[in-house]
Structure formats: structure tokens, C-alpha cells
Amino acid sequence: MSEEQIIGRKCFELIGRTSPCLRCASAQALETRQVTSIERHVPELDRWIDVTSIPILDSDGNVVLLVERLQDITDRKKAEERAHFDNHFRDLVAKASACFVQMGDNRSFDEAVDQALASLGQLFGVDRSYLFRFSEDLTTMDNTHEWCAEGITAQKDRIQKFPSDSMAWWKARMLERHPVQIPDVDALPAEAATEKEEFQSQGIQSLICLPICDDQKRLIAFFGFDAVGAPHLWPEEQVAMLQVLAEIIGSTIGRIEAIHSLSESQARLDKVVGAAQDAIVMLDPEGNISMWNAAAEQTFAYSSAEAMGQNLHKLLAPPRFHEAHHRGFAEFGRSGTGGAVGKVVELSALRKNGKEFPVELSLSSIQIKGSWHAVGILRDITDRKRAEDALKDERCRLANIIEGTHAGTWEWNVQSGKTVFNEIWAELLGYRLDELSPTDITTWEKLVHPDDVPRCREILEQHFAAERSDYDCEYRMKHKQGHCVWIQDRGRVVTRTAEGKPSMMFGTHTDITERK
């Protein structure tokens, strides 16, 4: 804007308004006699402006002049909005994933799915989110869960026993176990005419479907999102995180079905043999065993004849716990209460061969003829504890590897050029990560020694063309202090576009200067 265009105009006119602002930086600066800044969105221009009013005071402290500074901060605001969105998205996926990992029944699963669909649908600003289950033979599918934005027609009741073969083009892509994203329904190819008609009948402009597989990699379901009011495109990073959530949902479905199947089997077994899968032990008021079922025989290797009448603590508890058990059972005998009553606790127990192993105990009390008896349900949790320890060790090992090797990590969206580096990546070159931010692939290119760039490119292109299974290159990078650092750069393309082009690539940087 030229000087002639500015002089004589009111300040609010310079930011595209036709009337004064409700919150005016100039008015506040005049009142407070202090520099005042206000960030303002200008809908007419779709821009963000930082308006700063600087009062100039005379010797008596009176305002004699106002200096106005207008700065376009649109790019910064959009970057902040993107960062806020990404953080919120990751938080939602993490919370949903944690919820699914811990659950074990259909009711909790339904509630968690409904919550996840609503939260993600609202975050993306789309109009419909849903989960479908396939039949065992994949010939039909049922819309089991659905969330709709206000004013959007629900489809759940209509889409039941829907013949999946009628959407052959879409089904073929789902069977590949890869996300199916359709940015523009109107642009679908001729062979997807049926899909196009179905989607258009629902008013869909864009959609994405994430396949859900069980632990045997069988396609069992999918969840997705529909954009009705306006087109929507999900970036590769979001698609990757959504697919992780889909995998967790698949594991949860499998676990719930396994639990349900086990429950049915247990019920049938109870009806047939009058026994439970877990060890059920009953103690009389003196702490002696008065009931010992078949599962207890299997768990502890004592027959019913060997166990009945024996003091349970002396028989099954390691000696170091005898005194505490004796005190606790004395209180139980008086009141039917105790530290473990009504709770699920983990304890150590002994098998007949003297081997110690972990058990989960659920203890309750029952009063018979004025005396308190204890009923305990015990479960061998050896496998579960082993799995928990293995998972804990694996997480610790991965963290130690990154910390111990002082490896820098990087993520690269090959198509957009966007990159994500960890703090160590920057430290290897003498920088803090915030000194290099915001980063993209040019951040790396500027730091690579010019003589080494052609070789890096050559090896990279060979990996892109699948001539190399991995990208592995040693080259020099410029340190902040001016010298060069030798880096071993290893990585791999993890996802590709529908056309087979490299999409997301991940890798590490290791300082090999001393070896060189």
C-alpha cells in the first residue's frame, strides 16, 4: 500500500474494516500511555494482523503522537494452529489407544469406539465417522458404530448386511490392508461407478477408510470418516497414526472375542463338570482348606485328598509370609474383614514341587453359623507377568539404545519435504533443535558437505527405486563451529503413495567422526 493510499484514512480502514474495532489498540495506548499490541483476524482478507500502537509522550507525560505498526502474522498463526491441531490429534489417538488396550468387554468397547469416533470427527471437522464389521466370509458388512455432525443424516440403520461385493473396486483396495483415501468422490474412475453412486447418495465429497485386521492379519472391520459439507484431505502423518489406532482396535476386538469365547467355554464347563477354570479354595475359621476344586489341583499340583484339611498358608505361602498371614487371618476370624478381602491382589504361592510362582487372588468372606469362612479364587498369572516384564524390558531397551548410542532420529515426508528431527540430531552438529526450526528437507541439504551431496542423492534414489533395501550412507555435515562431522545416515521408506512413490521415510544419524 502506497503512502498516498494510507494518508487520510482511518486506522481500521487499513485492515479492511468499515467500522472501528471493538478492542482498539490506539484507544488503549491513549488511555494507558503504554505500548499496546492486539492480534486481530480480518475476515474480509482472511489474514491475521498484529496491530501495535506506540504512544509518544511530551515532557509532561501527555500523548502528542501515536505511531501505529501493522504486521501480517498470518503464517505464524497458521503454524500455531497446525501445531495445536497436531498435538490435539496425537493426544486423542494416544488416549483412545490406551483405553482400547486396557478394556476387555463389549460394553466398554462400544463406549470407547463411540467416544473416539466423536472426538476425531469433531477434531477433523468432518460430518460422519463410523466403524463397520465384516461378516466371516467378507460378503456383507454392518455399520455397528456411527457419529454424525449436527444436520447430517445417519446411515447406521440403513447400512446393515450390506453386500460388500457390490463395491468391488473399494473392496479390492480394502483387501490390500492399506488405508483407502478418496479426496474427491466425483473424480472416481469409471470402474468405481457403484461406489461413486453410493457415496454421492450420502452427499459425501471426501472419505477415508482404515482397514482393521485381527492378530492373524484377517480383515475383520474398518473405520473411517466422511466429509459432506466440504472436501477433506488427511495428510500421510495422520493416516499413519489412524492406522496404528486401527491395529489397536483390531487387537481389542480379538481380545474381547477371545474373552467372550472363553467365558462361554467356562460356562459350558461349569454346567458339565461343576468346576471352574480358576482355582477355588474355601477355608474354615481355623484357616484350613475345606474346598479344593479341580482347577486348584491343576494349579498347585496337590490332589483334593492331599489338600483338604491342611492349613492353606503353611501349604501354599512361602515361609517369609507366614507371620503376616497369621496376623491377618486372626483379624479376619474376628470380623470377616482384612486387607485383601473384596480386592484383587497379586501374591506369591508355592506348587507341590516347591516352585514359587505369581498368582492373582480375589478374596471374599462368608459367614456360616456365626463363623467367618474365606473363599478365594486364585489364578496363575505367570504368563501375564512374563509378558508384562518382557514389554517393560523392551521399552527400556529401546529407550536405552537411543540414549546409549546417542543417535539422532529423523522423519521425512518425501512428497511434502516436511521433516521431524529429535534433539540429538541437532546436537550432533552443535545446535539446539530450536535453532534449526522450522525444519524441512532443505535444513538437511544445507548442512551436508557439497561434495557429498551427489553420492547421498545417488544412494537415496537407488533406495527409492527398490534397488537397495535400505538407505545407508556415510558423509560429512557442517558443524556449527565450522568443522565437519562424519555422519552415518541410515533409513528406510516405510510408506508409499498409491502410485508407488516414496511417502514417509524414517532413519537415524550416528556420529562416526572418530572412526573415520
> Do residues 326 and 187 share a domain?
no
Question: Under 8 Å CB-to-CB from 297, ≥6 apart: which residues?
Answer: 303, 304, 307
Q: Residue 84: pLDDT band by 50, 70, 90 thresholds? A: confident
Q: For 412-436, write each residue's pLDDT tens digit.
A: 999 999 999 999 999 999 999 999 9
> Do residues 285 and 327 share a domain?
yes
CA dihedral for 387, 390, 394, 400, sign (positive or negative): positive
Q: For 157-168, write each residue's pLDDT tens digit.
A: 999 999 999 999
> Do residues 110 and 207 share a domain?
yes
When mean pLDDT is compared over 85-99, 392-406, 467-481, the highest value belongs to 467-481
Residue predicted with more confidence, 45 or 414: 414
Does residue 109 sit within a domain?
yes
Residue 359: predicted pLDDT: 92
Does residue 267 sit within a domain?
no
Domain boundary among the residues 49, 72, 95 is at 72
Residue 272: predicted pLDDT: 41
Mean of all residue pLDDT scores within the chain: 86
Does residue 93 sit within a domain?
yes
Separation of alpha carbons 428 and 441, rounded Å = 17
Least confident of 106-110, 134-138, 218-222, 271-275: 271-275
> Do residues 219 and 322 share a domain?
no
Question: Under 8 Å CB-to-CB from 164, ≥6 apart: which residues?
Answer: 134, 138, 139, 140, 141, 171
> Do residues 65 and 106 share a domain?
no
> Do residues 423 and 349 share a domain?
no
87 pLDDT more than 80: no
> Do residues 194 and 307 share a domain?
no
Beta strand 279-283 with 371-380 is antiparallel
Q: For 439-449, write each residue's pLDDT tens digit.
A: 999 999 999 99
Average pLDDT, integer, range 197-218: 92
The dihedral over CA atoms of 436, 439, 441, 447, expressed in degrees to the nearest 10, equals 0
> Do residues 104 and 232 share a domain?
yes
Q: Residue 176: pLDDT band by 50, 70, 90 thresholds? A: very high
Domain containing 184 equals 79-259
Residue 122: predicted pLDDT: 86
Residue predicted with more confidence, 309 or 76: 309
> Do residues 203 and 108 share a domain?
yes
Residue 274: predicted pLDDT: 45
Separation of alpha carbons 411 and 418, rounded Å = 8
Q: Which CATH number characterizes residue 418's domain?
A: 3.30.450.20
> Do residues 46 and 96 share a domain?
no
Q: For 223-281, write each residue's pLDDT tens digit.
A: 999 999 889 998 888 888 888 888 888 888 888 888 888 777 757 645 543 457 788 88
Q: Which CATH number characterizes residue 174's domain?
A: 3.30.450.40
Residue 289: predicted pLDDT: 94
What's the domain count of the chain? 4
Closest CA to 332 of 375, 278, 279, 281: 375
183 pLDDT more than 50: yes
> Do residues 301 and 186 share a domain?
no
334 pLDDT more than 90: no
8 pLDDT more than 80: no
Q: What are the strands, taking DSSP E only, across 356-460?
A: 356-368, 371-380, 408-413, 419-421
Q: Residue 402: pLDDT band by 50, 70, 90 thresholds? A: low
Query: What does pTM read for this prediction?
Result: 0.42
Strand order from edge to edge, sheet including 356-368: 289-292, 279-283, 371-380, 356-368, 344-350
